[in-house]
Structure 1
C-alpha cells in the first residue's frame, strides 16, 4: 500500500514538473517574441525613386543638379554637421532628431562621413523645357505636363537609395548601417534635343516676353524644342499663380489668331483645285464683300500680282477675292486635313488647345470666308498646329503628327526598354503642289515680307503673320499676335519652325528676325561641322 501511494505521489510530482516546464518554455518564447518585435530592421528612403526625364540623346532634363543627404542617428552627429545644413532647416531637424532619433538632412557642402549619399534635385534654376516637363506636388506626384501624363511610369522606375539599420526596443541603433541602390532604374526620354531647346529658350527669354518657339523635325514630327515665356520656378509655384502673363501656361499649346501665316494653305487649296498660279490679280489695296470693305496692310495697293507675288507681299485682297467664289467647303476640308479646330495629342494625355475653325454652315458665309482667308475672324490655332501645317510644304505634301516622347531607357545600359513614339502621317496635298508653294515661300524669305527672316546660311522658306486679337492696351493701342512659321534649310528641309509673340507688334520686325536667329543657330549646332560648302547640306 505504501509503494502504491509513493507511485501516485511520484506521478503527480512528475506531471506538475511537466506543467511548470511547459509554462517556462512558453514564457521564454513569449519573451523572445516581444524582443523580436522591439529589435527590428528599419529602412529609410534617401531618394524619391522617381525616374529622371532626359532628352533624345539621353542627356538629363530633370535631376541635373546633385544634392547631398546625410543620415543622422543622434543629436551629437547633428551638431557636428550643423553649419552644413541649410539655415531654414536647422531648427526643424534639431526638433525632429529629438523625437525620431534618426533623420535624413540635406547638406550644403560635402563632409567626410560614411552616411552621406548623393542624390539629385528634381528641378534646378536652369531647368529646360519647364512648361513641357511640368511640376510635382508635395507627395512627388505630377500635377502638370509630362510629370502628370507619365506619373505612374516615372514614380515606379527611378533610382532608389535606401538606408537599412537595426534598432532595439528603445529605438537605439545597434550593428552596422548600410545602404542599397536599385540596379534596374530607367529614364523617360523625350524627343526634345537639349542643344536646340537651350537655344530656343535663350532667344525666347531675350526677345519674346509672352509667346513661344516650336522646332519640329520635318521627317518624323518629333518636337526638338518647345520654349514658352514667361517662365516660372518649379520650386516656388505659389509666387507665379496670379501673374497676368500666365507663366504657368504652355503658350506653345494655346490658341491664337493665325493672321497671314495661314495664306500658304489657301494657296495650296487653290492649286489643288486647278487654279492658275500665274493668273494676274490687280490689287487696289482694298476689296468689298457683302458691303464690308477689307484692306491690305497699311492700305497699300500692290498692283498686279500673281500667286507667288501675293505671298511675297502678303496681299490680303488677292486671297479674299480668290477664296469667296464657292470655296467655303474646300476651305473647311483643307482646315480639317490640318486638324484645325481639333486637339492635337502630342503624347499620352497632353493636348494642344482645340482652337477653332468655322463650321460647315458658317464657312459658306462670304464674310466669314473673307476673314478666314487672311487668318482672322472665328479662327484660332496653336503654334504646334502651325508647325505641323507649314511642314507639309517641306515634306512633299505629307502631314506628320507632332510628338514629344521617345520611350523608356535603362539608366545603366542606355538600352531602350519601352517604345512610346509612333510615326503617324497622312497625305494632304500632292507633292507637286507642296513643291510649288515651297518655292513661293523661299521667295518670301529671299525678297518678300519675310526678308528679315533670311538665314545667313542655306536659306529657308516661311511666312509672316500679324494677327489682330480684338484686344487693346490701357492706352488704347491695339494688341497684335506676331507670327513667323517656316522650314530650314530651304533645299533639304530638316526642321519646321513656329514663332509666336503675343503683343508682338508687326511680325516683319519682331518675329521674322527671330527665324533668322534660330536658323543660324541650328546651322552652327547641327550642320556647320558637316559642311565644307556653307550653302549646301
Structure 2
C-alpha cells in the first residue's frame, strides 16, 4: 500500500494492504494512489504541465463573468516525490469545483474542451443588451482516449469507489477523490477535502456535477451520495 521514494519518504494508498497489480482501468475505479504516482512519473513533470496548460484545465476564464476564478494553481516542484504528490492532485495542484467539472465535461464530450459560460446574456426588459455565445470547443485529447476514460469512469461507479454515485435509471460515470489539506482540527485529526465529480447519463451525457465536501472522510462516503441526490432530483424534473 505504499510507493517508496527513499528510505525516509513514501506515499501510502488509502487501502492499507494495497491493491496489488492492477490495470489502469482498475486503478481509476479503485482510486489507487500508487498507480497514479507511477503514471505521473512515467509521463514526467514537463509533459504533465504541458498537457494541463494546453488543455485549459487550469484556465480561470468564464464566459460572461467579469473576473477570473480565484484559488487555483498548478505549480509542481522538481523531484520525483513532488511529481508523485502532484499526480494525486496534492501539493502544487489546486482546482476550483468549476474547473474540475469542466475537466470531467471534456472527457464526457469526447475530448472537446469548452470554456464554461456563466451568463447567457444581459437584458433590460425585452431588450437584449448583450449576448454571450457558447464556446464551440477545441480538441484537447483524441476521441479514442476520451472514450477509454469514459469506460474507466463508468467502472468507478459500478464496481469501484464511486458506487454510491451510481444511477440505476440512466447510469453515471465519475471519480472519487480525498485530498489532504495539511491542517488539523482541535482534536488533532487531519482535515480532509472529499470530492466526487462525474456526469450522467452514462451514454449521451447531459449533466456534469462536481461535489466538494470539506472536513469529510472520503469521496465515496461523503461526496458521491451528494452527486446521486442532486442527479436524482434533476432526473425527476426532466
Quote how far apart the aligned CAs of 1:457 are: 1.4
* Residue 355 (str. 1) matches residue 69 (str. 2): no
Say which SS state the counterpart of residue 351 (structure 1) adopts. coil
Contact 1:455 1:517 (C-alpha < 8 Å) held by counterparts: no
Q: Is the 8 A contact 2:104 2:197 kept in 1?
A: yes
Q: In structure 2, how many angstroms separate the alpha carbons of the residues matched to 1:348 and 1:514?
A: 27
- Does structure 1 retain, via aligned residues, the 8 Å contact 2:75–2:93? yes
Normalising by structure 2, we get a TM-score of: 0.92
User: Does the C-alpha gap of structure 1 residues 373 and 309 become closer, same or farther in structure 2, counting only changes over 3 Å?
Assistant: same
- Superimposed CA distance per residue, residues 5-61 of structure 1 (whole angstroms, 9 cap, x where no aligned partner): xxxxxxxxxxxxxxxxxxxxxxxxxxxxxxxxxxxxxxxxxxxxxxxxxxxxxxxxx
Q: Deviations over 1:384-430 (max 9, x none)?
A: 1101101111101011111111113352xx56453123425221100
After TM superposition, the structure 1 stretch with the greater mean CA deviation from structure 2, 340-349 or 311-320, is: 340-349
* Partner in structure 2 of residue 375 of structure 1: 89
Output the CA distance in 1 between the equivalents of 2:59 and 2:115.
Answer: 13
Count of aligned residue pairs for this structure pair: 237
Q: Unaligned stretches of 5+ in structure 1?
A: 1-284, 527-537
Q: Which has the larger radius of gyration?
A: 1
The answer for the alignment partner of 1:211 in structure 2 is none
Q: Give 5+ residue unaligned stretches, structure 2.
A: none
Correspondence 1:98-117 to 2 at 5 A: none
RMSD: 1.8
For the residues of structure 1 that align with 2:219 and 2:6, how far apart are their CA atoms?
Answer: 29
- Residues in 1 aligned to 2:31 and 2:132: alpha-carbon distance in whole angstroms: 41
Match of 1:397 in 2: 111
Task: For 1:338 and 1:486, locate their aligned partners in 2 and report how far apart those are by CA, in whole Å.
Answer: 18
For 1:2-41, what aligned pairs fall within 5 Å after superposition? Answer: none
User: Equivalent residue for 1:516?
Assistant: 228
Match of 1:454 among 166, 175, 178: 166
Q: Structure 1 342/290 Cα, relative in aligned 2: closer, same or farther at 3 Å?
A: farther
Matched, 1:296 2:13: yes
- What's the CA shift for 1:496? 1.4
Distance in 2 between residues matched to 1:287 and 1:489, nearest whole Å = 36
Q: In the alignment, does 2:37 pair up with 1:320?
A: yes
Q: Scaled by the length of structure 1, what TM-score is found?
A: 0.42
Q: Deviations over 1:177-225 (max 9, x none)?
A: xxxxxxxxxxxxxxxxxxxxxxxxxxxxxxxxxxxxxxxxxxxxxxxxx
SS at match of 1:438: helix
Q: Is the 8 A contact 1:340 1:357 kept in 2?
A: no
CA distance in 2, matches of 1:479, 1:523: 33
1:338 shift after superposition: 4.1
- In the alignment, the residues of structure 1 paired with residue 217 and residue 211 of structure 2 have an alpha-carbon distance, to the nearest angstrom, of 13
Larger RCO (alpha carbons 8 Å, 6+ apart): 2
